[in-house]
Structure 1
Amino acid sequence: MPELRLIDPDGYTVPGTAQTVPDADEPAVRQLLLTEVAPQHAAHWADFGYHPGDYRVLPDPTT
């Protein structure tokens, strides 16, 4: 089971997005993070030039 996290344009983990998911759920969770969470976070930080298309989902490199 991978641990996924949403990474902002500056390379930081978006708070509250690190989660361990079953292998079968990984595509759905990735999609949710990119289509729902990233736009919300980017809107909050829009004054700093954040755009939802600049976010990515990564597995935790320590796992």
Structure 2
Amino acid sequence: MQELRLIDPDGYTVPGTVQSNVPDANAAKVRDHLLHDVAPAHAAEWAEFGYDARNYRVA
């Protein structure tokens, strides 16, 4: 089991993205969802401050 969270370019956890108790078998799918779906949406909200989805990471 893993805990995954989306981290913004400033190093903060994006609200609502903490995924607790993710089975190891599903971790890649959750990571892809956070990076390819959630990060672009969050970056678009904050684009005026220079946020870019390519600078997000999953920890």
Q: TM-score range by the shorter chain?
A: over 0.9
The question of 1:47 aligning with 2:48 is answered yes
TM-score w.r.t. length of structure 1: 0.90
What's the C-alpha RMSD, in Å, of the aligned pairs? 0.4
Q: Could you say which residue in structure 1 is the equivalent of 2:28?
A: 27
Question: Percent of aligned pairs with the same residue?
Answer: 67
Aligned to 2:2: 2
Letter in 1 for 2:9: P
Output one character per residue of 1:16-62: Cα deviation in whole Å (capped at 9) or x when no partner. Answer: 0001211100000000000000000000000000000000000xxxx
Unpaired runs of 5+ residues, structure 1, are 59-63
Aligned residues, how many? 58
Q: Report what 1:15 is aligned to.
A: 15
Query: How far apart, CA to CA, are the structure 2 residues paired with 1:25 and 1:13?
Result: 20
Q: Secondary structure at the match of 1:9?
A: coil
* Counterpart amino acid of residue 4 in structure 1: L
